[in-house]
Amino acid sequence: YHPQSQSISYTTLTRFPPVKLLPPSSRKRVLVTGGAGFVGSHLVDRLMLLGHEVTVLDNFFTGSKTSVSHWVGHPNFELVRHDVVEPFMIECDQIYHLACPASPVHYQFNAVKTIKTSFQGTLNMLGLAKRTKARFLLTSTSEVYGDPEVHPQPEDYWGHVNPIGPRACYDEGKRVAETLTYGFHNQDGVDVRVARIFNTYGPRMNPQDGRVVSNFIVQALRGQDLTVYGDGSQTRSFQYIHDLVDGLIALMNSSDTRPVNLGNGDEFTILEFAQLVRDIVEDVQRADGVAAPRRVNIVHEGLPKDDPQKRRPDTSRAKSSLDWQPRWTVRMGLEEMVRYYKAKMAEGSL
Ligand code: NAD
Ligand code: UDP
């Protein structure tokens, strides 16, 4: 901040990280739905540091106020408790529409609410984009490809989804959200972007949400067995949160209205991934001078129904259209994540 050009008190100046001072002409009014969640809070951090005016809408189902509380009181920031299944009116230039639970445990907790959030919530936010002429970005998912028969998955693959299975509320919810998005684009000229996000991990991921990265790291740090579901031959590829945020902002500011995959192309079987996490946790503990407890075991538990057998993004569109590719290796990202959970454990909040 430049205190000369804004009437902000000294207290404000020291409370917040340095935010770019953009002239009003390039400062955007950005709405982030689901901005108090894992991905949303990192996106909000970046948008704030870039100097934009950010409003977060969240019902705090899986997100929490603490993930963005460091911005509360900043003149460019507003946090509103609101459920996107209800309409909302605000003047804005860009809408990042993230609101939707993302982990299987959370989205299956109330399947009807999940699909209602995807359908009604996206309808409301597209209606808002139409009225305000804001550019609208939907955070869709690799789950639209279901249990894919094409590998790796390019954006023109239509997918293989069970419409009545336990994952359907999420997969079909996102598929209908995409359909709505292109409906508003084709019918009403709404300026849209669609990101199909592949498995993403990083700090602020809820350790209780049952996703594989957080489960394995927390288990290894606690000296518990790592729980591999099924025989562990199913594959995933894992993207670090900072790469995703780069990709989302690049997509929003690009001219590409087609769906764009955002993910890391390094593919692991879940069994290989368990071994990798165990090794990295041991390496970090050793580097921190922590005496190694016994080597944790890898145990097998039942495979959830409809668990996709393989998943890896074809990211050639993101590379050619956005000049984007992941910069964080899985090892680098996992080391950061291990340190984050270690710090949480040390402060007693995990
Ligand atoms: P998250 O659960 O941490 O965040 C979702 C946020 O949306 C939370 O803050 C939650 O409280 C809020 N929310 C949920 N329902 C709402 C409603 N009805 N009204 C208002 N707010 C609501 O999940 P995340 O990992 O941060 O995912 C964010 C978005 O990215 C989601 O749309 C998800 O589908 C998408 N995505 C994430 C991943 C991933 O690996 N994290 C992968 C693919 C897609
Ligand atoms: N998984 C596992 N152990 C766990 C949690 C998940 O083996 O403790 C598996 C899960 O069955 C799936 C993969 O890891 O095959 C990724 O699961 P996650 O819930 O993280 O994401 P998604 O299934 O949505 O890709």
Q: Which atom of ligand 1 is nearest to the CA of 60?
A: 11
Handedness of CA 251, 211, 38, 200 (dihedral sign): negative
**For residues 222 and 263, what is the distance between their CA atoms, to the nearest angstrom?**
29
pLDDT reported for residue 6: 44
**For residues 300 and 316, what is the distance between their CA atoms, to the nearest angstrom?**
35
DSSP calls for 273-333 = HHHHHHHHHHHHHHHTTPPP-SPPPEEEEPPPTT--S---B--HHHHHHH-------HHHH
- Tally of residues, the chain: 350
Candidate list 96, 107, 170, 240, residue with the active-site label? 170
Residue 124 confidence (pLDDT) above 80: yes
Interval 165-184: pLDDT, tens: 999 999 999 999 999 999 99
**Model pTM?**
0.96
Cβ burial of 310 (10 Å; 0-12, 13-18, 19+) is middle
Interval 125-139: pLDDT, tens: 999 999 999 999 999
Mean pLDDT of 35-56: 98
Q: Is residue 170 among the annotated active site residues?
A: yes
Q: What percent of the chain has pLDDT over 90?
A: 91
Pocket, ligand 2, Cβ cutoff 6 A: 104, 199, 211-212, 215, 227-229, 234, 236, 270, 304, 307
Residue 5 confidence (pLDDT) above 50: no
Pocket, ligand 1, Cβ cutoff 6 A: 33-34, 36-40, 57-63, 83-85, 98-102, 106, 117, 121, 139, 141, 197, 199-200
- How sure is the predictor about 17, in pLDDT bands with cuts at 50, 70 and 90? confident
